[in-house]
Homo-oligomer: A and B are copies of this chain.
Amino acid sequence: MDNLSLQNPVFATYVIAATIMILKVSSMSWLTVVRMLQVKGGYRSPEDLKKTPLNPSPDPSQLGPNEPVDRIRRIHLNDLENVPFFLVAGFLFVFTEPSLLVAQVLFYTYVVSRLLHFAAYFTARTHDTRATLWTVGSVILIYMTVRTLLVALGT
């Protein structure tokens, strides 16, 4: 069967995991917007101090550090450091023709680890909790990548 078809359950599993992760990262942008509107700050460009419908009472302090907004930005940056590489590594891993069970365990555990990492970061749990959850995702990413590399080298 063609590897790259939604009829291939391994590829469909990848597509489900990948789209959930893309929605997760896109949510970070919207969450930043929501927080900026809530705290009326966390802006970064000088022109953001112009009076507009969305910012009726500008104040220079709006450009300063703002922990509620900056927290979402840190979570977002952590996503940028991880998710794009999962999206490509997971896709290439499909070509190694793993069993459906292996694909499901790896893809869905990755998704769950990233959602829990978000929850831990969002609620300001300790660095150790965050690091543990991040490590789960990172190990899955590295495993899939090394496995794909070895299969490609062996062909």
Contact = CB atoms under 8 A, between A and B. Distances in A.
Interface of A: 3-7, 12, 15-16, 18-20, 22-23, 25-26, 28-30, 33, 43-48, 50, 52-55, 67, 71, 74, 76, 80-85, 87-89, 91-92, 95, 121, 124-128, 131, 134, 138, 141-142, 145-146, 148-149, 151-153, 155
B81 A29 contact: yes
Contact of A127 (B7, B50, B134, B142): B50
A46 B23 contact: no
Contact of A3 (B4, B16, B134): B4
Chain A contact residues, majority secondary structure: helix
5 contacts: A22-B141, A44-B74, A45-B121, A46-B67, A50-B127
Contacts of A5: 95
A53 B128 contact: yes
B22 A85 contact: yes
A96 to B, nearest CB: 8
A20 to B, nearest CB: 7
B80 A125 contact: no
